[in-house]
Chain A
Amino acid sequence: MESEDDMHDANDIDSLDDDFYSGETEDAPLDYYSDYDDEADDYFEDADRIESRRPEQNFTILKESDIKQRQEEDVTRVATVLSISRIFASILLRYYNWSVSRVHDAWFADEEQVRKTVGLLEKPIVQLDNNTKELTCGICFENYPRARIEMASCGHPYCISCWEGYISTSISDGPGCLMLRCPDPTCGAAVGQDMISLLKSDEDKQKYARYLLRSYIEDNKKSKWCPAPGCEYAVTFDAGSGGNYDVSCLCSYSFCWNCTEEAHRPVDCGTVAKWILKNSAESENMNWILANSKPCPKCKRPIEKNQGCMHMTCTPPCKYEFCWLCLGVWSDHGERTGGFYACNRYETAKQEGVYDDTERRREMAKNSLERYTHYYERWASNQSSRQKALADLQQMQTVHIEKLSDIQCQPESQLKFITEAWLQIIECRRVLKWTYAYGFYLPEHEHAKKQFFEYLQGEAESGLERLHQCAEKELQPFLCADEPSREFNDFRTKLAGLTSVTRNYFENLVRALENGLSDVDSNGASFSRATSSKNAAGSSKSRSGRVKGTFRTSMSSRMNDDSHWCCEHCTYANVKSATTCQMCYQQRR
């Protein structure tokens, strides 16, 4: 029997040309410099490009017309295979959550049972005499000529206006209208789309059509709406192909298919959920209160001590006076307990171990809070950098590219490398952001891993800064120039090179982290810090056993194209003619 998957494949052609890049694998030589010219003008193509570098694209973005078409095709297929009307086919599909194969399985297993549960009757329950001129509507009890009466497959007669009332009430009750049954409570015959056409109200018809369309996406396990606000595209996903759940919608939003949070590689969905919960959780506030306040011994309201001596007076109405250190009543204190800034009683008691438990808890809460804050701040700042970069990209595309094209006398298609750079920055910010959640959950005791991770993260950060700097600052002179500058081509080479280097670094970083840094021995014995900072990126990457296209191989493959050489110091790809590296000014060796 045919499965739905074939179906989807058949539809892929029209929707998108996202298969365009799918031939490109990690192992293929990076033909970065050669494909400027044949790139399409659409910027979203670039977004696809980034995604498509991953081993294979296992999702398809659907526009409304695509959804409708697929739905129609599924209905046709079921109707043809089961030899039933399209109306019945549609009801069946809706019942089995739009899974063609489930419909087929159920139907061929026990057609009678399926017909009964779904309400597709073969012959009417109520047989009408052909001579009957008048019928009584079962809802309003009026008599009508035959032409004013309608019925579902069961034959229970209701007048058209009662049908209208029945159907439109059900439509305004929500998507349940797609499963509407005959008004007779004992009957259960399904009411199909043909009856919907009885409606006079276009608004109701549209609503119904909307529910039908939504149902195709929402009830279908293989598809989801893009979660970006206002985006109307849907995504179908083929779960067969392993761990990568990242989906990049045509609206440029990237999200995780599995958990529908924003894309979060290299961190897994569970960690993301934990992290998001943590960010929003009251528990962090509670931790803060626990760490930084003590409850008033009398009224128990939390008090933060931000200055002054140990003599505390609670705010009215409580006004209780007590010692901050031992929480005893202040009237027992004074000169003899060491004055306003000390408390002998506390010191003695502490030595006797009375305060240990609560104090330790307070101290631990404080530490864990500081640790969390550390990671959260960096997570959040990468998030806002990313937002800023998105805005910059927008600005770049709407204003600067055109201007630059004029000044530098370059066709806009030749300026693609700038957009590429910005898209890479945005992607890197995203990855970097999530590495902080990764770091937060890295077990404390795995020192070697932690150290290695922080090293990789540091390198990633500085690599990205270098790219960001180049895309932002070094572009400026060319934007302000009065005439084409000769250095512009050098700038192009540099920025494109940086983009490519950074992309590689981040892709490898993501893979290494997804592997859980598995090549690092957790006791740290066999791990020595990456040989030297010189070729750090290269060596750290080649440690990842499962990484296919390591930094080095992709570099060397590019070197094989004879037009570039790779700087051993900074890994920058220089044009062949250069004798010193254009990035770090080291001599070529």
Chain B
Amino acid sequence: MWSQEVINMIIQGIGETLKMTVFSCLFGYLFGIPLGVILSTTDVNGLTPNKYVYKVLDFITNIVRSVPFLILLILLIPFTRALVGKSYGSTATIVPLTVAAIPFIGRMVESSLNEVDRGVIEAARSMGISNFKIITRVMLVETRVSLMTGITIAFGTILGYSAMAGTVGGGGLGDIAVRYGYYRYQTDIMIVTVVLLILLVQIFQTVGMRIAAKTDRRIK
């Protein structure tokens, strides 16, 4: 049962899961941060309120967030194929994972940025600082603890999604759990993969929260 082959497969699964999660997180934040910034600043109480921009982005974000991930994954198959050349495997899965992650991350970034004290922003404006610098030097810096917490949440969620993608040939630990545990009734392999998934989430959650707490200057 625990042949070298199985062990290699599981190690490869861990690698694939990490690859999908890390890259989706990265691309997710690449687009999610600007989305969150625009949502937060164009809000009625934001730095530069803009009803129309906010409403359009708010609407799109809600729509993508409302589509169940598995459906999104299938809907995006043509897009994924056009982008990476195929629609299965761990590299291809990064595409729908990123698409699902962007609105989710955007919302978290938005809510983090909305935590910034309006008074601090006003103080920055009174110093003659431009809106762009208020975003980059005040808002994103003052909320770094909240943003860091957001990253750990995003990581856990995307890892969960990546396991779901396994059911339709997405690769990674989820794929192994479904193929061996579900289709072949090899419960032990399924349990091992599930435990590994739990461990990964736990490790990232703990490390993330610790970094967040360590860098917070509001306590002490």
Partners in one complex: no
Residues of A in contact with B (beta carbons under 8 Å apart): none
Residues of B in contact with A (beta carbons under 8 Å apart): none
